[in-house]
Amino acid sequence: MAGITRRQALVGAGAAIAAGTSVMPRRATAAGELTVWWTQGFYKAENDAVITWMADWEKKNNTKVNLTIMNGPDVITKLIAAMQVGDVPDVVHTVTGDRFLVPRAAWNDQLEDVSEVVDSQKNEFTETALISGRLYNAKQKKSSYYGVPTKASSLMNSVWLPLLEEAGFAATDMPATQDKFYDFFQTVQDKLRSKGKRIFGLGYSMAAKEADAGNLFHQFLVSYGGAGIVTPDGKLNIDDPAVRKAATTSLERLTTPFKKNYVPPGAINWGDVDNNNAFFAKQIVMTPNATISIAAAQMDKPDLYFKEILTRGVPMGNDGKPVPSVLAIAPTIIPKGSKNVDGAKALLRDFIQPANLNAYLKETRARYLPVMASIVKNDPYWTDPKDPHRQVAVDMGLIKPTVPWWMSYNPAYSAVLSEQIWPQAEANITQRNMTPDQATEEAAKRIKQLFEQFQK
């Protein structure tokens, strides 16, 4: 079929990336065509799944699809540039767009209202998915659906069982509560170091770039009682004593192990893939990760997948009570200026039909979760007791309580994430000798300034 083979999609992405942000992927200019940008997967199966689905849809609908697959940060950078020059694609799927771009683009009236697409499956979507897709448009003075919920993810913890066993522990020795769980891996490191192993117990991502460090900090923030940092009506609540204490505790708990050499020194420079690489190299015993990609990438290696890699969800709070997962909802959007809005909406309506969405997510090896509870309920694949990873993710993202990211309440928090305010606070502690209290105060000052820019 024309224009959408795996080679063309992936080579197109590579050319766009190599050329830099000033060169845009070729866009549709004629009726009956769609230009689609899609975030590149962590492994081949993810890319193959979208290429296959788009090829099938193209044949069935007699609409040419020009698909470009590119890495996550480039999708956002190029889309911002495309919006500035007024030459945008028709459909964009951006995995981290819910955090770094989409809420502010909706605020600035740069996205098409996709309510009719969301409404076609509204009864299927989870509450958190709907909250994440409903955003405020400052020009139109209204909230509406500007993102179509596509897939979800929450923080997981990947652990090497052989390294636990080498240190004299079993999987059942891992504690169930927040501080004890993460402190346990410091003990594991001490045991392994006593055997001459140059291994780090904790694979915390701590770089002020991309998404992983922010994901980790904010799950810690919730675990320590800071979920109310922004209220559902969009008000910043950072001066609340409980929120301030949670932020300070989170910074302290993340930076102290780093300063004590329980986290690799290079973690302050890690991109989102680097903790995965350190894990596979067995430089670290465990790492928090936003999906089950670490295990899923090894699905064709049964010993690794079923016997050696463990997946654990968010620990319970120090009080022994369940902690909600911060659930990221990857959106698919239609930028304003699309030359084929009707075609884009038709494609998305088909894509989010439960059967289609389920098939796509399964083809991606279930790295991401469904945004529809019925998919999990109706397909035993998602809760197969023989699978040691998938059911843990389902439990965290679809069964136990979840909270949406706070930019769903106010796009100012998207600016907080884009400026990497909290990872910068970690750097102020680890590299500039601030105390956690001082770093929290400096972060709070900047966050207040950002919120002043987004007044309804």
Query: Which residues in the chain come in under a pLDDT of 50?
Result: 1-31
**Whose CA is closest to 274, among 262, 285, 287, 261?**
287
Integer angstrom CA distances of residue 425 from 206, 254, 283, 446 = 10, 11, 26, 11
Quote the Cα angle for 215-184-208, to 5°: 25
Q: Write down the pLDDT at residue 293.
A: 94
Q: Evaluate whether 310 touches 388 at the Cβ level (below 8 Å).
A: yes
Task: Please give the Cα distance from 70 to 68 (Å, whole number).
Answer: 6
Task: Please give the Cα distance from 407 to 234 (Å, whole number).
Answer: 8
Q: Write down the pLDDT at residue 342.
A: 96
For the chain, how many residues are written? 456
Q: Write down the pLDDT at residue 376.
A: 97
SS (H, E, C) the chain: CCCCCHHHHHHHHHHHHHHCCCCCCCCCCCCCEEEEEEECCCCHHHHHHHHHHHHHHHHHHCCEEEEEEECHHHHHHHHHHHHHHCCCCCEEECCCHHHHCHHHHHHCCCECCCHHHHHCCCCCECHHHHHHHEEEECCCCEEEECCEEEEEECCEEEEEHHHHHHCCCCHHHCCCEHHHHHHHHHHHHHHHHHCCCCCEEECCCCCCCCCHHHHHHHHHHHHCCCHHHECCCCCECCCCHHHHHHHHHHHHHHHHHHHCCCCCHHHHHCCCCHHHHHHHCCCEEEEEECCCHHHHCCCCCHHHHHHHEEEECCCECCCCCCCCEEEEEEEEECECCCCCHHHHHHHHHHHCCHHHHHHHHHHCCCCCECCEHHHHHHCHHHHCCCCCCHHHHHHHHHHCCEEECHHHCCCHHHHHHHCCHHHHHHHHHHCCCCCHHHHHHHHHHHHHHHHHCCCC
On the CB side of 275, CA atoms within 13 Å amount to 31
Q: Write down the pLDDT at residue 14.
A: 36
Put residue 302 in one of left, alpha, beta given phi > 0 → left and psi -120 to 50 → alpha. Answer: alpha
Q: Write down the pLDDT at residue 82.
A: 96
Q: Write down the pLDDT at residue 42.
A: 85
Q: Write down the pLDDT at residue 31.
A: 45
Q: Write down the pLDDT at residue 11.
A: 34
Q: Write down the pLDDT at residue 279.
A: 98
Q: Write down the pLDDT at residue 285.
A: 98
Sign of CA dihedral 79, 82, 86, 89: negative
